[in-house]
Amino acid sequence: MHLFSSPPSHAWLSSVLTVSSHKTFRIKQFLAKKQKQDRPIPQWIRMKTGNKIRYNSKRRHWRRTKLGL
């Protein structure tokens, strides 16, 4: 018995053929904004607030938390 005996499904084929480099300008703007937001807080803010704000609680890891596009 062959491993690929049945023809591939349409959904699988379309997901393989979509290229991640083909993105609209609005999607590119959205991704750029999210990339700029994803940074640690400046050290002067820690000193200004008396170390009450210690880290950016809205940090996002590329693998753990997805953007929902």
Q: How many helices (H) and strands (E) does the chain have?
A: 3, 0
> What is the value of pTM for the model shown?
0.67
DSSP state of 13: H
pLDDT in the model for residue 7: 61
Domains contained in the chain, CATH given: 23-69 (1.10.1620.10)
pLDDT score of 13 more than 80: no
pLDDT in the model for residue 18: 75
Chain mean position to CA 62: 5
Give the C-alpha distances (Å, rounded to integers) separating 9 from 3, 17, 20, 32, 68. 14, 12, 20, 34, 24
More confident residue, 23 or 15: 23
Residue 12's SS3 state is: helix
More confident residue, 45 or 8: 45
User: Over the stretch 19-68, which tens digit does the pLDDT of each residue have?
Assistant: 999 999 999 999 999 999 999 999 999 999 999 999 999 999 999 999 99
